[in-house]
Amino acid sequence: MLERYAHLEHDGRLLLVNLNGEGPCLPVQGRRGFSAEEMLRLPTPEEARSMGIQWSPRRVNCFSLGDRRISIEVATPNIPWPSEWAWKDSVISDDAVDPVARESVYRTLHRVVSKVVLTNANGQVLMAKVTRGFFTGHWTLPGGFVDYGEHPRDGAVREAREELGIDIEIADHNGECGDITLEKENSVVREAIFDDEGIDWISFTYKANYEGAEEEIVPKDDEIEEARWFDVKEAISRAISVFDRDAIAILASRG
């Protein structure tokens, strides 16, 4: 049977109810032992409407959790900031909160990746064929997940070093990561949700020129099968990611 819930969130506050659909209820961070009467969950759309709440729909996320089939309407409630609702961050560590609610919070957190469009003196773009991860066996721009506490620009520099063994410099005219550069940064930021499960991706892609020797490019054995330069048109056609295709088309022709 399909379970339907409403994920109503306003500036970090989330509506939770008890098993009887009454709320708002607050989680207890770090709670382990609990009784059935203490269990908390997301409201159903009908329960939320019975509280007099109206909302602006954003999307519907559908996923499975064990043998449970879940449909969650993610929406912004049309009310003043609900200070009596649960902080979104406090939901994760309370075992009395229904796993569906915790999964819904997890799915509404952004996944941040950082990449780089590297061009050579001939205007070609460096691509890598990856051997693990989401795009195994396909061509992508050098890059990957941004680490905790890391600026996306630093993430792109780190990934180029880890994947290809090269040190690159990305313009930083605002001095966000260190010294201010005279050269202006060229970058593209994209956001998208690609499937019904609702994982939200944000991609930062930077432009950099590569002036090093070809033999300095050494693909990482357990991650990159091959690295190769492509003309812009072919790089776009080979890129598996829509984020990569957009970034190449926008950034590769810039100085």
Give the pLDDT confidence of 206-227 residue by residue, as tens digits: 999 999 888 899 998 888 999 9
- Please tell me the distance from the alpha carbon of residue 130 to that of residue 20, in angstroms, as a whole number: 49
Q: How far is CA 67 from CA 70, 71, 92, 105, in A?
A: 10, 13, 21, 19
Lowest mean pLDDT among 52-56, 100-104, 212-216, 232-236: 212-216
Torsion angle of alpha carbons 71, 77, 82, 88, nearest 10°? 30
- Please tell me the distance from the alpha carbon of residue 8 to that of residue 250, in angstroms, as a whole number: 36
CATH class given for the domain over 2-107: alpha beta
Q: Is 110-251 the same fold as 2-107?
A: yes
- Ordered by start, the domain boundaries in the chain are 2-107, 110-251
Residue 37: CB atoms within 10 Å: 9
The CATH classification number of 110-251 equals 3.90.79.10
Q: How far is CA 136 from CA 126, 129, 139, 195, 202, in A?
A: 17, 8, 9, 19, 20
- Please tell me the distance from the alpha carbon of residue 196 to that of residue 168, in angstroms, as a whole number: 37
Rounded to two decimals, what is the model's pTM? 0.89
Tell whether the model's pLDDT for residue 55 goes beyond 70: yes
Tell whether the model's pLDDT for residue 255 goes beyond 70: no
Residue located via tokens 């990569």: 244
- What is the rounded average pLDDT for all residues in the chain? 95
Predicted local distance difference test score (pLDDT) of residue 134: 80
Percent pLDDT > 90 in the chain is 89
* Nearest residue to 105 (alpha-carbon basis) of 10, 175, 210, 14: 14
pLDDT tens digits for range 3-43 = 999 999 999 999 999 999 999 999 999 999 889 889 999 99
CB 6 within 8 A of CB 43: yes
